[in-house]
A and B are shown apart, each in its own frame.
Chain A
């Protein structure tokens, strides 16, 4: 259960892929954070992530947790975006046996999970083959 407050709070990164770029050293954080771990700056500007990248590594989830069983087997990977940022996310709409390291992918807006049959629907980003 994610609930309304967290879902609402995370909209900028989940809906619009907004990262925080450190004003001191230009390091990009996704999701954004309050203090830069590189230079200690507390000032960030919003930067929208690149929408395309490549699969750096991935695993196949065969035994899915509750809420994801409809989609099993599915891939979860680390994607290196064109701007250098690495993001962990599901790679949707692909046959696990066809996915390869280095495959080009792009972001798509998808339903990530739902709070049961009567709760809030949570939307966000997944990747699909480009």
Chain B
């Protein structure tokens, strides 16, 4: 039985801030950040946008592409590290807004930037097990970086949603693989507003020592080589890491560039590799194979191999495409507006 993606959608907020604008405030050298992290600008959510609102929009795009009734969805899993409530699920609101309640299983997931692919993994596994016909996995974040920290140049906002099913599958999931160890490279303690990280430790042994082994395990398990794939997508904490990880595995720039959104989007954390996948699905052709590996600090990676089917051409333009949302009509803001939008200014309390 072929199980995989039957509908997908992404959402990108309209506001952007450029690396130069952030560097100017902190006396940092913008060209160094741009070259070192391969980042140019990042998305910024409006004050009225959060994980829930972006998830609803992405899920609605996925529903449009799937052509199914929302009440056929048997589960909703939203992965994020910026759920608006500490206690109360994001998934209940999203499910109600898209019309998928009440006969639906729901859980919010957290695993730093890997929570989105966890939702996809579990949603797909439930369909594969025959527990339900359709399940929805979403990766979304309005990520925070402390003022002046290196993370502030990358922490962005966005969402991607995937409806998993077994009929009219757009992209069949052929193989999965997971790789995980306890590696404390990035964390946020309870009641803390901003996350902390271990500087260069976040590269090796964190990101690279999980993404690359997960990728190798996926290639080994599937009996494939990088030449068997048209597209490859990796988690994008910045522009540099995914390219380097992909090259280590044997993938070319050509295979990676369509899903490589970080230079103009930033790091959307749980939405990062899922949004890259959505950008690839926007242009993929029947028969194409997609290689995807996520990464979440803490640390772990989820790997997927998708094979695109004939169904894809019917839906690619049925909802807003990911790069189209990224490139069309951005509103550039200055650091003051950014600080206001992201709640970085201490206000008088009511």
Q: Is the CB of A71 within 8 A of B46?
A: yes
Is A111 within 8 A of B97, CB to CB? no
B-contact 0/1 string along A1-39, CB 8 Å cutoff:
000000000010001100000000000000000000000
**Which of B14, B93, B329 contacts A123, CB < 8 Å?**
B93
Q: Which of B15, B56, B99, B329 contacts A109 (CB under 8 A)?
A: B56
Contact A66 B331 (CB under 8 A): no
CB-CB under 8 A from B331, the residues of chain A are 93, 95
Q: Please give me the residue from chain A that is nearest to B14 by CB atom.
A: A93
Q: Is there an interface contact between B48 and A110, defined as CB atoms closer than 8 Å?
A: yes
With an 8 Å Cβ cutoff, the count of chain B residues facing the other chain is 24
> In the complex, A15 Cα to B101 Cα: how many Å?
12
Which of chain B's residues has its CB closest to A126's CB? Answer: B48
Q: Quick check: is B252 within 8 A (CB to CB) of the other chain?
A: no
Q: How far is the CA of A15 from the CA of B349 in the complex (A)?
A: 30
Count of A-B residue pairs with CB < 8 Å: 55
- Contact of B97 with A16 in the complex, beta carbons under 8 Å: yes
B350 with A111: CB separation less than 8 A: no
Q: Does B84 contact A (CB under 8 A)?
A: yes
A121-B48 in contact given A70-B340, A93-B14 (Cβ < 8 Å): no
User: Closest Cβ of chain A: how far from B253's Cβ, in Å?
Assistant: 33
A108 CB-CB contact with B under 8 Å: yes
Question: Which residues of the other chain, B, contact A108 by a CB distance below 8 angstroms?
Answer: 53, 57
* B residues less than 8 Å from A92 (CB atoms): 46, 48
Give bound CA distance, A16 to B96, whole Å.
8
Residues in B with CB closer than 8 Å to A65 are none
A103 CB, min distance to chain B CBs, angstroms: 13
**What bracket does the count of chain A residues touching chain B fall in?**
20 to 34
Contacts of B14 in A (CB 8 A): 93, 128
A112 close to B (CB within 8 Å): yes
CB contact between B350 and one of A11, A70, A116 (< 8 Å): that residue = A116
Contact of A110 among B49, B96, B329 (CB under 8 A): B49
Given contacts A93-B14, A110-B48, contact A121 B84 (CB under 8 A): yes
Q: Specify which of A66, A71, A110 is in contact with B53 (CB 8 Å cutoff).
A: A110
Bound state CA distance, A71 and B46, in angstroms?
8
Query: Nearest Cβ distance between residue A31 and chain B, in whole angstroms?
Result: 16
Residues of B within 8 A of A95 (CB): 331
Give Cα distance in the complex from A128 to B50, angstroms: 16
The verdict on B47 contacting chain A, using a C-beta distance below 8 Å, is: yes
Closest-by-CB residue of A relative to B13 is A93
Tell me how far the C-beta of B337 lies from the nearest C-beta in chain A, rounded to whole angstroms: 10
- Other A-B contacts than A92-B46, A109-B97, 10 sampled, CB-CB below 8 A, are A70-B47, A70-B341, A93-B331, A108-B57, A110-B46, A111-B52, A111-B53, A121-B52, A123-B52, A123-B53
A-B contact pairs, 8 of them (CB 8 A): A108-B53, A109-B57, A109-B97, A110-B48, A111-B50, A117-B350, A123-B97, A128-B14
Interface residues of chain A, those whose CB is within 8 Å of chain B, are 11, 15-16, 66, 70-71, 92-93, 95, 108-112, 116-117, 121, 123, 126, 128-129
Listed from nearest, the 5 A-B pairs whose CB atoms lie closest are A70-B47, A109-B56, A15-B97, A110-B48, A111-B48
Using a CB–CB cutoff of 8 Å, the interface residues on chain B facing chain A are 14-15, 46-50, 52-53, 56-57, 60, 84-85, 93, 96-97, 99, 329, 331, 340-341, 349-350
